[in-house]
Amino acid sequence: MNPRKEFEKLKATDVFYNRLCSAEANSFENVAFFVAGVLSATFMKVDPQLITEYCGFWIAMRLLHTVTFISAWGNVGVAIAAVRTASYVFAAAAASSLVLFAAQASS
């Protein structure tokens, strides 16, 4: 038995499992930018409470994005897709804000 072939076979035959795998892959799409924001804000000595709040918000938005990504099918897909897009934008805004806070602290 080849685990990778079994994994691919399951992805091809089980729609929900394929959706879960896609959600997992999608969850990594802006992690690098978030990490850069956290590290730059930390190194520039931005208020740790502010960093923590933005990190918590980013995590909440990414969790919401993952849940809506998994559940966006059928007749409710369009409404859920709007929530998914909003959660992605808010998470990106949180990561961007951390970078901006670091830039402000450096000047």
The pTM of this model reads 0.84
* Domain layout of the chain by residue ranges: 29-106
Alpha helices in 1-107 (DSSP H): 3-13, 15-26, 31-43, 48-71, 77-106
CA distance 66 to 27: 7
User: What pLDDT is attached to residue 74?
Assistant: 62
6-15, 52-61, 93-102: the lowest-pLDDT one: 6-15
User: What pLDDT is attached to residue 78?
Assistant: 78
